[in-house]
Chains A and B, each alone.
Chain A
């Protein structure tokens, strides 16, 4: 029987249960979100015993050495003593510098971190309102170029975090940012490779960052950006992206909606996003693809792109669900 010691109390881990499940079952409060090893909200530290390697996937080496692990994917095979890490040390305070409404339900939030943060455009961070409430958001800004960190926040009806952003947060307020993670970002060295970027809703945020990073890096291959929305008001960067595509001959912007509306711009395509992508990009062999947004669409597209000849390792997607 595997035992887990937390806060000076012993808990028995049921067969196949994770550290997170065990602690939550016993009424312990552990911050968590995706429960799939992706978001890093449930980061814990083992002070005694060794966690399985799989519980440390995606963590920095410096953190692995210190025994940090992800509680949701940690199914211990030996006794462990664990604690919540001093996350305050991982957080950097930031000041809200701008809040802009991009559409009916998307807000652009810009914050200025109190110290420089090293990141790749397209990675994501945890934004914390306070110790108890944190949510993941992708970075739409460019490191080194943009002073502020930029996020696209979709307003969720009755959402705890987004409700706070919409109703209470003002320019000058403080929040904290926890270190950037994720491998959905532009990599240097293949300037001539064609890029396929497909996102739904605020899945556009990381793609916008990746696109800008590619352009700034002098990418010469074609960059095809598909943004899917239910209807045209959901294409919240439509005008800016249309203009950008006119300025950069290798950038193609494909705005797509499930249902056309009367006054929509004439470059918007109506139809099923996956089908539109397959029709426009029928041979993605040797392309690099980035897929972000609705998990069902991401899953479907990943398969389509793979079956059409792309290498599995050339398809990147954000591991977490956009809420």
Chain B
């Protein structure tokens, strides 16, 4: 059976998802402040890296990267409710792209697997 990343459509799927997902996080008052980067292109590149990872694609993230990358956000108050919101928006993005519930769940599991590192717990 094809891997999750292959089933979702690989890099092309990530490219299709990144704009939709980014637009959602920028409009969602629960999390928009954390994403309103000065440099939208740099921010979009980060989103792409994140989506590739939770789609089960090739990535080199380590727990340490996740901790260091989000430390300043945790200091600003990033907590479980924000991660919940992101998982929800991720699911909505995939639904919009016609992905089935089982695969969406698998993506959510991958996103949840880095929760503790992201929140520096």
Residues of chain A within 8 A (CB-CB) of B22 are 306, 312
- What is the 8 Å Cβ interface bit string for chain B, positions 24-39, against chain A (1 contact, 0 not)? 0011000000000010
Contact status B41-A312, CB under 8 Å: yes
In the complex, which residues of chain A have a beta carbon less than 8 angstroms from the beta carbon of B23? 306-307
Closest to A311 in B: B19
- CB of A303 within 8 A of CB of B26, answer yes
Give the size of the chain B interface in residues (CB under 8 angstroms): 10
- Complex alpha-carbon distance, A307 and B32, angstroms: 13
Interface membership of B18, Cβ < 8 A:
yes
Whether B44 is near chain A, meaning CB under 8 Å from some CB there, is yes
Contact with B along A274-302 (1 / 0, CB 8 A): 00000000000000000000000001001
Q: Is the CB of B18 within 8 A of A312?
A: yes
State the Cβ distance, B45 to closest chain A Cβ, in Å: 10
Task: Name the residue of chain A whose CB is nearest to the CB of B16.
Answer: A311
Q: Is the CB of B19 within 8 A of A312?
A: yes
Closest B residue, CB atoms, query A315: B40
Q: What is the number of residues of chain A that contact chain B, defined by CB distance less than 8 Å?
A: 7
Smallest CB-CB separation from B23: which chain A residue?
A307
Q: Decide if the interface of chain B is mainly helix, strand, loop or mixed.
A: helix
Q: How far is the CB of B109 from chain A (nearest CB, A)?
A: 28
User: Which residues of B lie under 8 Å from residue A307 when comparing CB positions?
Assistant: 23, 26-27
Contact A312 B40 (CB under 8 A): yes
Pairwise interchain contact A299-B38, C-beta atoms closer than 8 A: yes
How far, in angstroms, from A299 to B19 measured CA to CA in the complex? 17
Task: Report chain B residues within 8 Å CB of A302.
Answer: 40
Contacts of B18-74 to chain A: CB distance below 8 A: 18-19, 22-23, 26-27, 38, 40-41, 44
Q: Report chain B residues within 8 Å CB of A311.
A: 19
Q: Which residue of chain A is the closest to B15 with respect to CB atoms?
A: A313
Smallest beta-carbon distance A167→chain B, Å? 37
Question: Distance in Å from the Cβ of B11 to the closest Cβ of chain A?
Answer: 13
Q: Which of B68-92 contact A (CB under 8 A)?
A: none
The residues of A that contact B41 with a CB separation of less than 8 Å are 312
Distance in Å from the Cβ of A161 to the closest Cβ of chain B? 27
Q: How far is the CB of A25 from chain B (nearest CB, A)?
A: 25
Smallest distance from the beta carbon of B52 to chain A beta carbons, Å? Answer: 16
Instruction: Using CB atoms, name the residue of chain A closest to B44.
Output: A312
Chain B residues near A299 (CB-CB < 8 A): 38, 40
Given contacts A299-B40, A312-B44, 13 further A-B contacts (CB under 8 A): A302-B40, A303-B26, A303-B40, A306-B19, A306-B22, A306-B40, A307-B23, A307-B26, A307-B27, A311-B19, A312-B18, A312-B40, A312-B41
Q: Interface residues, chain A, CB within 8 Å of chain B?
A: 299, 302-303, 306-307, 311-312
A–B pairs, 19, beta carbons within 8 Å: A299-B38, A299-B40, A302-B40, A303-B26, A303-B40, A306-B19, A306-B22, A306-B23, A306-B40, A307-B23, A307-B26, A307-B27, A311-B19, A312-B18, A312-B19, A312-B22, A312-B40, A312-B41, A312-B44
